[in-house]
Amino acid sequence: MLMITERLAPFLGTVVGATSRPLSFKQFENGTVLIGGGVRGVVDTVRHVAETRLDGLAENADTVVSLFPFMQDARIMRTWAGVEAVMQDQIPVIGLSSQHDNVIHAFGFSAHGYQLGPITGEIVADLAMEREPKLPITPFSIQRFQTPCPA
């Protein structure tokens, strides 16, 4: 779930997180502030919708106000919930496709995209240039989800 505030005077130039509470907090160039970070909404896979939970939004807002008291007066303009690309084991898929030439997989980051984005870009560039990546990527292979065929 995420919240967007009204436009505020510039005060933040980086993404802020918290160590003991879920938080992702950043200000955009237009002044709006994005508040989120791990508090989950409700997903209905039958209806294909995600809904916000007011208690979760309140938890994020309380965290922000405790760390940035001046945010107490900031108005929330909109909220939303969505589905993240998450794999069963919480680990992304990175590597060459085993079924299609010239296809490189990089998906399922399970909210780790900010942290893994730079190194994933380097790995994908190496793969695209047909170079061996500097780091081992076998644990990220899509094949880890394949079950052996019965004999």
Question: Between 39 and 3, whose confidence is greater?
Answer: 3
Residues 11 and 66 in one domain: yes
CA atoms within 13 A on the CB side of 36: 20
Residues 40 and 110 in one domain: no
Q: For residue 34, is pLDDT > 90?
A: yes
Question: Between 135 and 18, whose confidence is greater?
Answer: 135
Q: For residue 10, is pLDDT > 80?
A: yes
- Domain-located, residue 20: yes
Residues 134 and 71 in one domain: no
- Domain-located, residue 151: no
- Domain-located, residue 110: yes
- Domain-located, residue 66: yes
Residues 42 and 9 in one domain: yes
Number of domains in the chain: 2
Mean pLDDT of the chain: 89
The per-residue pLDDT for 148 is 66
* Residue-number span of the structural domain to which 115 is assigned: 93-142
Q: Decide which of 34, 55, 80 is a domain's last residue.
A: 80
Residues 45 and 100 in one domain: no
CB atoms under 10 Å from CB of 123, counted, come to 21
Residues 58 and 98 in one domain: no
Q: Are 87 and 112 in contact (CB under 8 A)?
A: no
The per-residue pLDDT for 149 is 58
pTM over 0.75: no
Q: Are 5 and 74 in contact (CB under 8 A)?
A: yes
DSSP string, 90-115: S--EEEE-SSSTT-EEEE-BTT-HHH
- Domain-located, residue 47: yes
Using only the alpha carbons of the chain, give its radius of gyration.
19
50/30 Cα distance (integer angstroms) = 27
Q: Which of 28, 19, 53, 20 shows the shortest CA–CA distance to 39?
A: 53
Secondary-structure percent of the chain, ordered helix, strand, coil, rounded to 5: 30, 25, 50
The per-residue pLDDT for 151 is 58
Q: For residue 105, is pLDDT > 80?
A: yes
Q: For residue 111, is pLDDT > 80?
A: no
16/146 Cα distance (integer angstroms) = 38
Residues 112 and 134 in one domain: yes
- pLDDT of 50-92, one tens digit each? 899 999 999 999 999 999 999 999 999 999 998 777 788 888 9
